[in-house]
Amino acid sequence: MSKPLRLGVNIDHVATVRNARGGLYPDPVRAAQEALAAGADGITAHLREDRRHISDSDIDRLSALLNAEARPLNLEMAVTQEMLTIALHHRPHAVCLVPEKREERTTEGGLDVVAGHNWVTPFVSRLNEAGSRVSLFIGADPAQIEAAHRTGAAVVELHTGAYCDAVREGRPEEADREMAALAAGAAQAAALGLEVHAGHGIDYDTVTAVAAIPELMELNIGHFLIGEAIFVGLGPSIRRMRDLMDAARAGDGREGEA
Ligand code: PXP
């Protein structure tokens, strides 16, 4: 029997659409409620330094909702003093430390924990002491995984963006190489005692192979689900992803219901 695979739904891009007009809708907190009702195990939100999508008040309201529902909030944030203060105030269930560059459109690569070990480690310690489960968003690179383990973080989230791009853009050999690296990275991290998550760029075409990696405990998926919701609604968009994940775990390649 394989381990259950949790789905964290990232609701950042509901806020992106709201912020395009600067008003109050669509509301990412309402999206979080719908996502939980549709089978999400938790909600992920990235409070970026430039507040381009999720705002401080979204985090206040998401935190209140998820505490009331006893469901996990996974706060993604850069490794900065400002973000640490916010995380220590809210003490979310989980904090995922990510690299952040102002000019990027999305989180383009993993955290460089090898070079940044002495910078990252005190953040991990403070968050661990506050009771948040710390995850480091890294590439599936043996040296990064080893360094992440040495920070004292309980979790690594492996960056699936390169694999997903290679599949979408029709580069099968590269996709195979990236998938082999993800599978090896997951095995290495699990052998070190780390919990292993994965995310970035996952859609219906890429989720099956990712979800079949047996060591993975959680996937965090956002942009594709919010985009698909325009056509089918948020609940059906998430339910289909959940079905595909479950089918991949069952190892039968069954298609989820549309
Ligand atoms: N995991 C992490 C650490 C991320 O930074 C993101 C993007 O915010 C995701 C998962 C979700 O990626 P996507 O929106 O491409 O599904």
When pLDDT is averaged across residues 136-140 and rounded to a whole number, the result is 97
SS3 128: helix
Name the E strands within 52-179.
73-77, 94-97, 133-138, 155-159
Torsion sign across C-alpha atoms 158, 160, 162, 167? positive
Is the pLDDT at 106 greater than 90, yes or no?
Answer: no
When pLDDT is averaged across residues 185-194 and rounded to a whole number, the result is 98
CB burial class (10 A; 0-12, 13-18, 19+) of residue 21?
exposed
Domain boundaries, the chain: 6-250
For position 2, what pLDDT does the model report? Answer: 65
- Range with the poorest average pLDDT among 97-106, 114-123, 143-152, 228-237: 97-106
**pTM for the structure as a whole:** 0.95
User: pLDDT > 70: what percent of the chain?
Assistant: 93
Atom of ligand 1 nearest to the CA of 164: 15
Is the pLDDT at 1 greater than 80, yes or no?
Answer: no
Distances from the Cα of 193 to the Cα of 98, 149, 160, angstroms: 21, 8, 21
The catalytic position among 90, 93, 197, 200 is 200
Is the pLDDT at 105 greater than 80, yes or no?
Answer: no
For position 256, what pLDDT does the model report? Answer: 43
When pLDDT is averaged across residues 102-131 and rounded to a whole number, the result is 89
Q: Does ligand 1 have an atom closer than 6 angstroms to the CB of 138? A: no
Model confidence band, residue 57 (pLDDT cutoffs 50, 70, 90): very high
Domain 6-250 has CATH 3.20.20.70: yes
Atom of ligand 1 nearest to the CA of 221: 16
Task: Tell me the CA end-to-end span of the chain in Å, nearest whole number.
Answer: 26
What is the identity of the amino acid at 140?
A: A
Q: Does ligand 1 have an atom closer than 6 angstroms to the CB of 53? A: no
Q: Which two tokens stand for residue 214?
A: 């047996």
Length of the chain, please? Answer: 258
For position 258, what pLDDT does the model report? Answer: 36
Place of tokens 């916010």: 86
User: pLDDT > 90: what percent of the chain?
Assistant: 91
Q: Does ligand 1 have an atom closer than 6 angstroms to the CB of 74? A: no
Could you read off the pLDDT of 210-258 as tens digits, one per residue? 999 999 999 999 999 999 999 999 999 999 999 999 999 988 555 444 3
* Catalytic-residue membership of 149: no
Spatial CA neighbour of 16 closest among 43, 48, 42, 40: 48
For position 104, what pLDDT does the model report? Answer: 66
Is the pLDDT at 145 greater than 80, yes or no?
Answer: yes
Atom of ligand 1 nearest to the CA of 223: 14
Residues 11, 19 contacting (CB under 8 angstroms): no
Is the pLDDT at 101 greater than 90, yes or no?
Answer: no
Distances from the Cα of 81 to the Cα of 136, 186, 198, 239, angstroms: 16, 30, 25, 37
Q: Does ligand 1 have an atom closer than 6 angstroms to the CB of 10? A: yes
For position 230, what pLDDT does the model report? Answer: 97
Spatial CA neighbour of 164 closest among 233, 108, 216: 108
Model confidence band, residue 103 (pLDDT cutoffs 50, 70, 90): low
